[in-house]
Structure 1
């Protein structure tokens, strides 16, 4: 299933391309997003890293529900979630020679250790040294694949959203590479629109859909609005056509199933009469996938928080 971390990664890829800087990779974004959205009052204890012995008879710690990053604890400029502190701390064997840095700021405790390094170092070099735990998580998470679509929308002041670009693939992609590729392709290469520019970035929201449960159907109306996306192909006047709608399209547009099919055929390039759509021999595949969205302001707030970790 798609996640907001996937969306944050798409924003990271697009903004870094427009700003001509090096981006974080997906695993780094996932780890940092997890820490950002974690309960700031919860202490994560890793026995492999914490030398303190636990009393076997002690009551287990309570589990707190997730809290907003804007909680009082997070307003303390010196506060860092426990897990982030461990990610940023150099290992004993390299404490004298390594430091964590980024393009925005440096914590006071690390300023001397990083004095020989420019504050303008790329973000990728910053987070490549986040420590063994982050690198280990990258190895554990690598290899996840899925067909996917990336959608960019423009959000107007009225709250109205309009499509700005949407391109994807039905071939399974490794997510780090696939999301990176289609975040840019949908932003720059959707021929229905001009390429997205840097000045537009604050007006955008991104949606990520990971596709599952592909099922060929013999009845073109054997699908559920809001649940299934559709992929069609057909031959008309000796020419092959094809198109797709994601699961959310018909519901958002308020279409019936027949209206959706006619629109989908029109999208493919079919020019016949609407009343004759059923006479066309259609190959229809239904599929599922829940779109997850993230707005620019939410991404920007997270990105500024990441900058404070250097």
Structure 2
């Protein structure tokens, strides 16, 4: 799954590019984060009070605000997935892929599946290469709503040391839907990294689970081939059912048929996949970076 270190590295690469300096390597970021004093908020801990029963435990609140809201409301969401932002809104793709979410203008709340590990010094990833997406959002300081600022990724397996660096810059500076991110915008940003896993060909157009799978479609209509993709969090963020998700994704691909006729297109192929995401905001990156500078 994606880790805090992956997100910190993306911030480091972008800020270094805008500040005209040489960035730390992924290995250096990972080593530094392991030494960084993160406090109890990083790990789930059980604290037994003298006045409480021995079995009573208090768990540190998840640092991701959406995961905290989900935990507090008692809702359960299937599977481990998603970007999102994690909060990913619309995603753009390099030539190798074509993932997108519905709108590049509206705000999209973060979605993090229940069961995702909280971030901390004990969380480590042994993944060294993966298909990946990097999403940049601007975060409102008052409402904490997220607005997509750029998202580009690839379905081609990438070494994380080079893939994260490349797509952190592609998504920030080369998403054709947005102007390039500027140095002055850094304090308003949040980055989300999604590593894609478990690719499977679906037995049918609806052979996938909401909140668990992202889907990539390919179909034929009006003498041309169409294709597009959504990351796992998109349908849940938008409140769609499976058919609504399929119609929206087909629209994204450029299909203009009647929504009632979506299942009648030719040669529909659906590939499902999962995505393990993590996100970090500028303040967290800046606190870590300040600590690194004092070492």
* TM-score in terms of structure 1 length: 0.65
Task: Report the structure number with the largest CA radius of gyration.
Answer: 1
Counterpart mapping for 1:270-281 below 5 A = 270-281=255-266
Distance 2:230 2:190 in 1: 19
Q: Over residues 182-238 of structure 1, what are the superposed CA-to-partner deviations in whole Å (9 max), with x where a residue is unaligned?
A: 000011111111111111111110000001000001211111111100111112211
Moved over 4 A (4+): 37-40
Corresponding residue for residue 30 of structure 2: 30
Among residues 276, 288, 293, which one is paired with 1:290 in the alignment? 276
* Alignment partner of 1:175 is 2:154: no
Secondary structure (helix, strand or coil) at the match of 1:291 reads: strand
- The alignment covers a number of residue pairs equal to 212
Corresponding residue for residue 269 of structure 1: 254
Distance 1:233 1:189 in 2: 25
Corresponding residue for residue 6 of structure 1: 6
Secondary structure (helix, strand or coil) at the match of 1:205 reads: strand
Corresponding residue for residue 257 of structure 1: 242
Gaps of 5+ in 2: 41-59, 61-124
Q: Select the structure that is richer in helix.
A: 1
Contact 1:248-1:291 within 8 A present in 2 as well: no
Corresponding residue for residue 52 of structure 1: none
Corresponding residue for residue 119 of structure 2: none
RMSD value over aligned CA atoms? 2.1
Q: Over residues 133-181 of structure 1, what are the superposed CA-to-partner deviations in whole Å (9 max), with x where a residue is unaligned?
A: xxxxxxxx99811000001111012111011111101010000000000
Contact 1:228-1:247 within 8 A present in 2 as well: yes
Structure 1 residue 290 displacement after superposition: 2.0
Contact 1:247-1:290 within 8 A present in 2 as well: no
Among residues 185, 208, 230, which one is paired with 2:215 in the alignment? 230
Cα distance change on mapping 1:37 and 1:262 into 2, 3 Å:
farther
* TM-score in terms of structure 2 length: 0.68
Distance 1:278 1:37 in 2: 53
* Alignment partner of 1:299 is 2:285: yes
* Alignment partner of 1:188 is 2:173: yes
Secondary structure (helix, strand or coil) at the match of 1:10 reads: helix
Q: Over residues 267-286 of structure 1, what are the superposed CA-to-partner deviations in whole Å (9 max), with x where a residue is unaligned?
A: 11111111111111311000
